[in-house]
A and B are shown apart, each in its own frame.
Chain A
Amino acid sequence: MKELLLGKLSMQALPHEWFTIAGSVTFILLTIFTAIVITRLGRWKWLWNEWLTSVDPKKIGIMYFIVAGFMLVRGGLDAIMIWLQQALSSGASHGYLSADHFQQVFTAHGNIMVFFVAMGFIFGLINYIVPLQIGARDLASPFLNTTGFWLYVGGVIMVNMFFLLGGEYAATGWLAVAPLSGKEFSPGVGVDYWIWSLQISGIGTTMGAINFIMTILKMRAPGMSLWKMPMFTWGSLCSMIMAVTVFPLLTATLFLMFFDRYLGMHFFTTGSGGNPMMYTNLIWMWGHPEVYILMLPALGVFSEIVSTFSRKRIASYTTNVLGMIGVSAFALSVWLHHFFTMGAGANVNAFFGVMTMFIAIPTAVIFFTWIATMYKGRIRFTTPMLWFLGFVAIFTIGGLTGVLLAVPPADFQLHNSLFLVAHFHSNVIGGVLFGIFAGISYWFPKFAGFRLNERIGRYAFWCWVVGFCMSFIPMYILGLMGATRRLDHYDSATGWQPFYVLMLLGGLVICAGVALQVVQIIASIMQKKHLTDTSGDPWDGRSMEWATASPPPAYNFNVIPQISTRDAFWEMKQQGLPKRTFEDIHMPKNTALGIYLSAFAFIAGFGFVWEIVWLVVVSLLGILICVIARTFNEDSEYTITAAEVEKLEKARMKRDHVKQSHKDSDMDDDMGLIDFVKIVVTGALDIIRNKKWRTW
Chain B
Amino acid sequence: MTKHKNKASQSRSIWFMLLGLLGLGLSITLLLSGTDVVLFNPKGLIAQEELKLILFSVALMLTVAVPTLIILYGFAWEYRESNKKARYDPEARHGKYFVLSMWAIPTVFMLVLASVMWPAAHKLDPKKTIAAEAKPLTIQVVALRWKWLFIYPEQKIATVNYVQVPTNTPVQFELTADEAPMSSFWIPHLGGQLYAMTGHVNRLNLIAEEPGEYPGSTAEINGAGFAGMKFTARASSAEDFDHWVQDIKKSPSVLDNAEYEKLLEPSESNPAAFYSSTDTGLYAKMLMKYMGSHDHQPAKYEAGH
Contacts and interface: CB of A to CB of B under 8 A. Distances in A.
Interface of A: 99-100, 103, 171-173, 177-180, 185, 270-273, 276-277, 280, 310-313, 315-316, 319, 339, 341-343, 345-347, 349-350, 353-354, 357-358, 360-361, 364-365, 367-372, 374-381, 389, 392-393, 396, 400, 403-404, 406-417, 458, 462, 465-466, 469-470, 473-474, 477, 479-482, 484-491, 494-496, 498-499, 502, 666-669
A17 to B, nearest CB: 15
B88 A377 contact: yes
A401 B149 CA distance: 34
Nearest to A367: B68
Contacts of B50: 409-410, 412-413
A343 B198 contact: no
B10 A474 contact: no
Contacts, number: 303
Nearest to A186: B223
B88 A378 contact: yes
A372 B17 CA distance: 26
B102 A466 contact: no
Interface stretch (B75-83, B155-163, B242-250, B255-263): B75-83
Nearest to A402: B61
A312 B292 CA distance: 66
Contacts of B292: 271-273
Interface residues of B, number: 107
Contacts of A313: 90
Interface in B1-59: 2-3, 5-6, 10, 13, 16-17, 20-21, 24, 27-28, 31-32, 34-40, 47, 49-51, 53-54, 57-58
Contacts of A354: 114, 117-118
Interface centre among A349, A353, A378, A465 (most CB of B within 10 A): A378
A314 B54 CA distance: 35
Given A172-B221, A179-B182, A375 B194 contact: no
Interface in B187-230: 188-189, 191-195, 197-200, 202, 215, 217-228, 230
Contacts of B199: 270-271
Interface SS of chain A: helix, strand, loop or mixed? helix
B17 A407 contact: no
26 contacts: A180-B222, A271-B290, A311-B90, A315-B94, A316-B102, A343-B127, A349-B121, A354-B114, A357-B114, A358-B110, A361-B107, A376-B92, A377-B88, A389-B76, A407-B54, A407-B117, A409-B50, A415-B192, A415-B193, A416-B186, A416-B219, A469-B20, A473-B28, A482-B188, A494-B36, A495-B36
Nearest to A375: B75
Contacts of A368: 68, 102, 105
Contacts of B125: 345-346, 349
B72 A369 contact: no
A297 B295 CA distance: 50
Contacts of A669: 2
B132 interface: no
B69 interface: yes
Nearest to A417: B219
A578 B64 CA distance: 46
Interface in B94-137: 94, 98-99, 102-103, 105-107, 110, 113-114, 117-118, 120-122, 124-128
Contact of A379 (B36, B81, B197): B81
Contacts of B54: 404, 407, 410, 413-414
Nearest to A380: B81
Contacts of B57: 403-404, 407, 410
A319 B102 contact: yes
B301 interface: no
B1 to A, nearest CB: 9
A354 B227 CA distance: 33
Given A365-B103, A369-B102, A473-B24, A100 B94 contact: no
B114 A667 contact: no
Contacts of A360: 106, 110
Contacts of B193: 341, 412-413, 415-416
B85 interface: no
Contact of A357 (B117, B184, B186): B117
B49 A409 contact: yes
A486 B218 CA distance: 11
B121 A365 contact: no
Contacts of B217: 484
A361 B108 CA distance: 9
B291 to A, nearest CB: 7
Contacts of B230: 491
Nearest to B7: A381
Given A179-B182, A316-B99, A341 B194 contact: yes
A370 B72 contact: yes
Given A346-B125, A374-B72, A408-B121, A276 B194 contact: no
Nearest to B214: A482
A361 B64 CA distance: 12
Contacts of B273: none
A79 B103 CA distance: 39
Given A378-B88, A409-B53, A482-B215, A103 B99 contact: no
Given A99-B225, A409-B53, A271 B219 contact: no
B31 A361 contact: no
Given A179-B181, A409-B50, A465-B17, A379 B79 contact: yes
B294 A381 contact: no
Interface string B130-168: 000000000000000000000000000000000000000
Contacts of B27: 502
B302 interface: no
B239 interface: no
A488 to B, nearest CB: 5
